[in-house]
Structure 1
Amino acid sequence: MLLRRSHHSPRRAPLLPVLHRLTMCSSAPASTSPPPASLAAVDYHCRTKHSLTAGYARGPGRLDWANQPNPFLRFSPSPVIPLPNPPPPVASRVHYPALFHSPPPPPQPLSLDSLSDLLFHSLALSAWKSAGASTWSLRVNPSSGNLHPTEAHVLFRDPEDPGRLVVSHYAPRDHLLEIRATVPATSDCSALLPPPATAVLALSSIFWREAWKYGERALRYCNHDAGHALAAVAIAAATLGWDARVLDGLSDQDLGRLVGVDKGCPAPPEGIPDKMVRGKTPWVERHHPDCAVLLFPAGSEPEVDYARMSQALRGFHGLEWVGNSNGLSKDHVVWDVIYRTAEAVKKHGPKPGERFSVSPWRMSAELSERLYKELTVQEVVRQRRSAVDMDGMHVMRKEEFYQILLHCLPSGEVSLGEQQGPQSALPFRVLPWDAEVHAALFIHRISGLPKGLYFLVRNEEHLDKLRRAMRQDFEWARPEGCPDGLPLYRLMEGDCQRLAMQISCLQDIASHGCFSLGMIARFEPVLHEKGEWMYPRLFWETGVLGQVLYLQAHAVGISATGIGCYFDDAVHEVLGLKDLEFQSLYHFTVGAPVVDRRILSLPAYPGPGIDA
């Protein structure tokens, strides 16, 4: 049996027989499709798998606390724009479910107040924590290990001179914008910010912040975090009546010009080392451009001309850039495979015929508003926390579980007989591709739902492929009482708590929640069909989905935690996946948190002159 009941302690229990033999990656993918031009993404992915038999992916082994990276990047000296803190209520504070189950509110005009509101409820600090002699900050957007590799940059019209644009870096510690450069009115500003667009928000990653702790696997986690940040921005924008969409027709070179990766940052070497290097190598602190998001009034569709936008960004090289980045660590470790892979999976421009388009706004299905706590969107996003432990006792109501999953659907509410289509529900609508990520669910404690292994199909065009790829003895049965528009299937009944714990690097939190899950992405075919630049985007999609799980859990009164450490091929063995057609990219657990009362919580921004 794949799943069996046990009353033994999970930590002392032997591994289940299903994990006895694992499907291991070879140097070449098992697919029969023609090999892509470069195998960098596949090679990196297989190289950085954790294994029950071969051990963990290469990492530092111990934490070098003396060189822990500074979580706050600043550019000095540069002019700053302080943002109102807390921001004034530029928009009415809406009950959390209303944002997802109703049309968006009327759009707010761009101002420092609305920019402050956007950033305060997406990328700002949410609290400081203190225990003993240690003090650390938390942010609205979650991050693997609370290391926060993601940096944000905003391009917007100068409030004092609307004819020119401001290129700025967001500094969350002090909730302000650092002006890096200004784009004169003589430039093609309408190409950079096509009417009626409000602003462009770009994300970049500092790989070193994650690699310090996680070694070679850090590239995965940086892209998880980029996805969380994308969802956080899309939701905060929606409260202002703004829509958000990734400008995926821009190349990585275009994005680098937009965020100024060569301006005020350590210079890169002539070539990336071909082995791990230790020592003072400040170039690893450079930020890597991830993506840019166009913010615009909901209901409109700006006419984006990628060729014009790219041409206008070429002129950024000649702008007067201000400020140099602060050093983050004294010494470093260069995990060479991260930088070589990031270089290999860059996007080099729009695909032929690629256009900017906006999906019709679709609302998520609602079972009952009474399932939610009386919280506004702003309260939910700023109160979100990653649970460090679950109580192992709380039983979730089946209706709450179904409501959470309904919010995980990319197209939102569909009519009877209709299937999920383009990603058009909030926050998935920020992504311009069709859903590629599904969820294998381990159900532990949900009233009215048998324990066991379940599967949520988020793109039903993949259903037949999934059934062929997975174990042939799975039921694929619709659970009793499952809403008509929810493509959820029971694969096998049984107690899977031990199994969930074991495949998630033996972490009890995976079994102590009400349910846990593995996010299963269509993998190798996507890289063949679209290009290896989709590799980081698959992780962005898992981050967006993870952010939905976080917020939905908090909105019904419990909590959640992302799990980046799991035994990749053990997950595939459980599901019967034998090649690289589908791969597990992220794990999550949802349940009632155990709160550590020894940790003191402090305000995110205590006030002028007070340094928490």
Structure 2
Amino acid sequence: MKAKYATTPFHKVHFPYLLSTLPPPSTASKLTTTSASKTLIPAMSFSSSSVSNPKQPQDPQDKDLHLQQVLKYHNQTKHQFTKYARGPHGLDWANQPNPFRRYAPAPLLPLLHCPTDNQTPDTPLYSSLFHSLPPPKPISKSTISQFFYDSLALSAWKTAGFSTWSLRVNPSSGNLHPTEAYIISPPIESLSDSSFVAHYAPKEHALELRAEIPSWVFSGFFPKDSFLIGLSSIFWREAWKYGERAFRYCNHDVGHAIAAVSMAAAELGWDVKLLDGLGYEDLEKLMGLEMLPRFQIPSWPVKGRFPEMEFEHPDCILVVFPNGVGEFDVNYKKLSLVMSEFSKLEWKGKPNLLSKEHICWDVIYRTAEAVKKELSIGDKFLVDPFQSSGICSESSYKGFTVREVIRKRRSAVDMDGVTAMDRSTFYQILLHCLPSGSRNGGKQKRSLGFPFRALPWDAEVHAALFVHRVEGLPQGLYFLVRNEDHFDELKKSTRSGFKWVKPEGCPDNLPLYELYRTDCRALAEKLSCHQEIASHGCFSLGMVACFNPMLQDKKVWMYPRLFWETGVLGQVLYLEAHAVGISATGIGCYFDDPVHELLGLKGSNFQSLYHFTVGGPVIDRRIMSLPAYPGPDVDA
């Protein structure tokens, strides 16, 4: 469970006082507040037959409207010291969405359960995957079972008092799990005699057979022993708790899922790459989601019974293929033509109802419409050679296997305020956060290292770090530049008094810079919605993305992808923390513009999109852990 809202009461903060020890910005910046919210309307009638799914416009003026919608959403959903983004007033527990989607009566294909005692002789060590991938294993019922078991399955059940809830390998905002997964695969012995599309059911650790497809679909597009993974989002699951900001969190979770899939694939010697040339309509057809009911987006937030609001928004398709096969091309135009035939398939099963009543935060769905991507016929599909990541403190890792790290990963609910890490461990964690791996003197920019290589764009996300308890490193504000082409612009855009010097002992291939020395624990806490977890760890950080130039240059569909990148980076931080014996937590609740003011950032060229904290966890002994399988027979 990732921290999203403050655990302490809201207080007004005199922000300039917190900045009194920092150098002034080069020019004055001004905080803004969101506009007054509209009243929630009790009800509005919907028509399940009415469709609000326009194609991406070709007119540049219409595309400008889409950019305006994205900027409106982003600014409207910022938290401020004086006001949080709009959300529900309290939690409607009677309508908490079911975290498990099912497609009854689609045939259920049970998967195998993997051993959890870590005695499997060929299970690689966690740290080894950053150096090289093991030899690829063939697709089989056993390997597909292991793949899902170590990526998107349940990891445990928790119980306290009369409450019981499940945890998963892939983390989720508020443990609400808006992300659904599909596999599109050639025939697999003991699972399906034909190529198929199936939905993954994590509670059962099974595949729901949605459709059988012609076996020739895979011929000519992908190497032998390849398959596709589709990810989609149910916005309602997050909006139930977080209101309008839910679109951000859903896309954080997509990024976490991409990294979780990449990690599980690597364990089996498989590589992963985003098929980002495909368009929204291609993804809908491929996952069978165009068959779900549609609804007309209202003009303002409304409350009522809207089951069609539980549709799945297709996010992305990943191709999983054997490591070391070399380069192969994907003809997106031909692949799209093949996918157009999926509309004619016999799709099995209907989705279960997740809640009896709903609140529709209209701005989420308008923004989702604005960022729908078209088919990119001219896009090139590139498979770069695997690039190993830097090493400076291999001894920091505890000798955990991949499964030990990814299945025992937990989101800390509190940090102890005592645990410290040594400087070499801190540097080692950050080396694995770099997109390009060890470049032999080359700049960090392209996504070549593991697991960032799944993303086809150059790194756009950086990290402003609040160092609290790192032995051998002064407390203060630091900055990790993950795309060194941005260095000059970052330095120019931030406060003129920042030092921008490499800290003592920093590896040459780690673009980490000290900005200002100060005890920033109270500052980090207040910026993260007054949550102590941001100040009680070893360090916390804000992920700062190249924002407006990216949306202008690469079109508005990059907006959710920036959040995906933060999610991939966050998943690395989760796993690295557990691999060195501590813990981590994602923080989605932070005060956006005050973070920018702290750094001296003005305008929208750079924006903070996600916060994180790493440190020694506080264990709640009142909560009992139960095995993931077999789990309690409840939807909790």
TM-score tier (shorter): over 0.9
Q: Secondary structure at the match of 1:440?
A: strand
For 2:155 and 2:417, locate their aligned partners in 1 and report how far apart those are by CA, in whole Å. 27
Instruction: Go from structure 1 to structure 2 and tell me whether the alpha carbon gap of 1:379 and 1:605 turns closer, same or farther (over 3 Å shift).
Output: same
354-363 or 296-305, larger mean C-alpha shift: 296-305
Q: Secondary structure at the match of 2:566?
A: helix
CA deviation string 1:256-290 (max 9, x = no partner): 11111133x3x112x31111110000111111000
* Residue in structure 1 matched with residue 428 of structure 2 by the alignment: 403
For 2:163 and 2:219, locate their aligned partners in 1 and report how far apart those are by CA, in whole Å. 48
* Residue in structure 2 matched with residue 41 of structure 1 by the alignment: 70
* Residue in structure 2 matched with residue 316 of structure 1 by the alignment: 342
Matched, 1:576 2:604: no
Counterpart code for 1:381: I
What are the equivalent positions in structure 2 for 1:440-519 lying under 5 Å apart?
440-519=464-543
Q: Secondary structure at the match of 1:424?
A: coil
Instruction: Go from structure 1 to structure 2 and tell me whether the alpha carbon gap of 1:466 and 1:73 turns closer, same or farther (over 3 Å shift).
Output: same
Contact map agreement 2:139 2:225 (CA 8 A) in 1: no
* Residue in structure 2 matched with residue 599 of structure 1 by the alignment: 623
For 2:315 and 2:381, locate their aligned partners in 1 and report how far apart those are by CA, in whole Å. 18
Per-residue deviation at 1:179? 0.2
Counterpart code for 1:589: T
For 1:395 and 1:195, locate their aligned partners in 2 and report how far apart those are by CA, in whole Å. 46
Counterpart code for 1:158: P
CA deviation string 1:409-467 (max 9, x = no partner): 0011121x321131011100000000000000000010010000000000000000101
Contact map agreement 1:390 1:592 (CA 8 A) in 2: yes
* Residue in structure 1 matched with residue 32 of structure 2 by the alignment: 24
Instruction: Go from structure 1 to structure 2 and tell me whether the alpha carbon gap of 1:554 and 1:229 turns closer, same or farther (over 3 Å shift).
Output: same
Instruction: Go from structure 1 to structure 2 and tell me whether the alpha carbon gap of 1:25 and 1:520 turns closer, same or farther (over 3 Å shift).
Output: farther
CA deviation string 1:264-319 (max 9, x = no partner): x3x112x3111111000011111100000000011123331111111111001000
- Moved beyond 4 Å, runs of 4+: 10-16, 18-22, 87-91, 160-163, 607-612
601-610 or 478-487, larger mean C-alpha shift: 601-610
Per-residue deviation at 1:36? 3.8
* Residue in structure 1 matched with residue 565 of structure 2 by the alignment: 541
* Residue in structure 2 matched with residue 255 of structure 1 by the alignment: 283
* Residue in structure 1 matched with residue 43 of structure 2 by the alignment: none
* Residue in structure 1 matched with residue 332 of structure 2 by the alignment: 306
Instruction: Go from structure 1 to structure 2 and tell me whether the alpha carbon gap of 1:517 and 1:609 turns closer, same or farther (over 3 Å shift).
Output: closer
* Residue in structure 2 matched with residue 363 of structure 1 by the alignment: 388
Q: Secondary structure at the match of 1:539?
A: helix
Per-residue deviation at 1:12? 10
Per-residue deviation at 1:158? 1.9
Q: Secondary structure at the match of 2:174?
A: helix
CA deviation string 1:349-375 (max 9, x = no partner): 11x631111111001111132111121
What are the equivalent positions in structure 2 for 1:274-293 lying under 5 Å apart?
274-293=299-318
Q: Secondary structure at the match of 1:390?
A: coil
Instruction: Go from structure 1 to structure 2 and tell me whether the alpha carbon gap of 1:545 and 1:611 turns closer, same or farther (over 3 Å shift).
Output: closer
Aligned partner (choices 104, 113, 122) of residue 142 of structure 2: 113
Q: Secondary structure at the match of 2:329?
A: coil
CA deviation string 1:221-257 (max 9, x = no partner): 0000000000000011011110000000000110011
Matched, 1:166 2:196: yes
Contact map agreement 2:412 2:618 (CA 8 A) in 1: yes
CA deviation string 1:471-517 (max 9, x = no partner): 11110011011000000000000100010001100100000001000
Per-residue deviation at 1:165? 1.3
* Residue in structure 2 matched with residue 141 of structure 1 by the alignment: 170
Per-residue deviation at 1:606? 2.6
For 1:138 and 1:157, locate their aligned partners in 2 and report how far apart those are by CA, in whole Å. 30
Matched, 1:130 2:130: no
Per-residue deviation at 1:542? 0.1
* Residue in structure 1 matched with residue 214 of structure 2 by the alignment: 184
For 2:459 and 2:255, locate their aligned partners in 1 and report how far apart those are by CA, in whole Å. 14
For 2:13 and 2:390, locate their aligned partners in 1 and report how far apart those are by CA, in whole Å. 41
* Residue in structure 2 matched with residue 30 of structure 1 by the alignment: none
Aligned partner (choices 257, 262, 267) of residue 239 of structure 1: 267
* Residue in structure 1 matched with residue 364 of structure 2 by the alignment: 338
Q: Secondary structure at the match of 1:426?
A: coil
CA deviation string 1:58-96 (max 9, x = no partner): 000210000000000000001111000126999811111
What are the equivalent positions in structure 2 for 1:552-567 lying under 5 Å apart?
552-567=576-591
Instruction: Go from structure 1 to structure 2 and tell me whether the alpha carbon gap of 1:163 and 1:314 turns closer, same or farther (over 3 Å shift).
Output: farther
Q: Secondary structure at the match of 1:590?
A: strand
CA deviation string 1:518-564 (max 9, x = no partner): 00000000000010000000000000000000000000000000000
Contact map agreement 1:244 1:294 (CA 8 A) in 2: yes
Counterpart code for 1:159: I
Counterpart code for 1:508: E
For 1:312 and 1:225, locate their aligned partners in 2 and report how far apart those are by CA, in whole Å. 29
Per-residue deviation at 1:41? 1.2
* Residue in structure 2 matched with residue 94 of structure 1 by the alignment: 124
Identity of aligned residues (%): 58
Report the aligned-residue RMSD.
Answer: 2.2
233-242 or 34-43, larger mean C-alpha shift: 34-43
For 2:11 and 2:432, locate their aligned partners in 1 and report how far apart those are by CA, in whole Å. 33
Contact map agreement 2:397 2:579 (CA 8 A) in 1: yes
Contact map agreement 2:12 2:81 (CA 8 A) in 1: no
What are the equivalent positions in structure 2 for 1:369-384 lying under 5 Å apart?
369-384=394-409
* Residue in structure 2 matched with residue 205 of structure 1 by the alignment: 233
Per-residue deviation at 1:610? 11
Contact map agreement 1:152 1:170 (CA 8 A) in 2: yes
For 2:598 and 2:340, locate their aligned partners in 1 and report how far apart those are by CA, in whole Å. 49
Instruction: Go from structure 1 to structure 2 and tell me whether the alpha carbon gap of 1:222 and 1:245 turns closer, same or farther (over 3 Å shift).
Output: same
TM-score for both structures, normalised by structure 2: 0.89
Contact map agreement 2:186 2:218 (CA 8 A) in 1: no
CA deviation string 1:109-137 (max 9, x = no partner): 00111111111001000000000000000
Aligned partner (choices 47, 51, 69) of residue 80 of structure 2: 51
For 2:536 and 2:600, locate their aligned partners in 1 and report how far apart those are by CA, in whole Å. 25
Contact map agreement 2:158 2:625 (CA 8 A) in 1: yes
* Residue in structure 2 matched with residue 65 of structure 1 by the alignment: 93
Counterpart code for 1:515: F
For 2:356 and 2:65, locate their aligned partners in 1 and report how far apart those are by CA, in whole Å. 38
CA deviation string 1:151-170 (max 9, x = no partner): 00001112259884110000
Which 5+ residue runs of structure 1 have no aligned equivalent? 1-9, 28-33
Per-residue deviation at 1:601? 0.2
Contact map agreement 1:196 1:302 (CA 8 A) in 2: no
Contact map agreement 1:23 1:572 (CA 8 A) in 2: no
Instruction: Go from structure 1 to structure 2 and tell me whether the alpha carbon gap of 1:119 and 1:333 turns closer, same or farther (over 3 Å shift).
Output: same
For 2:445 and 2:494, locate their aligned partners in 1 and report how far apart those are by CA, in whole Å. 23
Counterpart code for 1:331: E
For 1:584 and 1:365, locate their aligned partners in 2 and report how far apart those are by CA, in whole Å. 26
